[in-house]
Amino acid sequence: MALLGFASNDAFLRAPTGETGLLKEGEELGGVKLLRIGTNRVLVEHEGQQKELIMFSGFGGETLLPKGKEKPQ
């Protein structure tokens, strides 16, 4: 699973199944649902778990995960 890039309000993702596609918030691809798009990362849900996928670190790099939860590894 990987974040490949951004295009306006969409994110280009690769699912664990190998499928790739451009998704808007709320859309699903290969069992991965895009929940939220940030500056340099997205929040997705896969198999009932929320995970962050990150393009790069830097400004705008605050987590999209709900406060009080550990960062996924």
CATH assignment at residue 24:
2.30.30
18-68 residue pLDDT tens: 999 999 999 999 999 999 998 889 999 999 999 999 887 665 566 677 776
In a domain, residue 68? The reply is no
In a domain, residue 14? The reply is yes
User: Distance between CA atoms of 69 and 71, rounded to whole angstroms?
Assistant: 7
Q: What is the domain range of residue 37?
A: 2-54
In a domain, residue 65? The reply is no
Let me know: does 61 contact 39? Beta carbons within 8 Å. yes
Residue with tokens 């998704």, as numbered in its chain: 23
Q: What are phi and psi of 4, to 5 degrees?
A: -95, -25
What pLDDT score does 55 carry? 86
β-strands 20-23, 10-14 pairing: antiparallel
What pLDDT score does 8 carry? 85
Number of domains in the chain: 1
What pLDDT score does 46 carry? 96
Instruction: Please tell me the pTM assigned to this model.
Output: 0.78
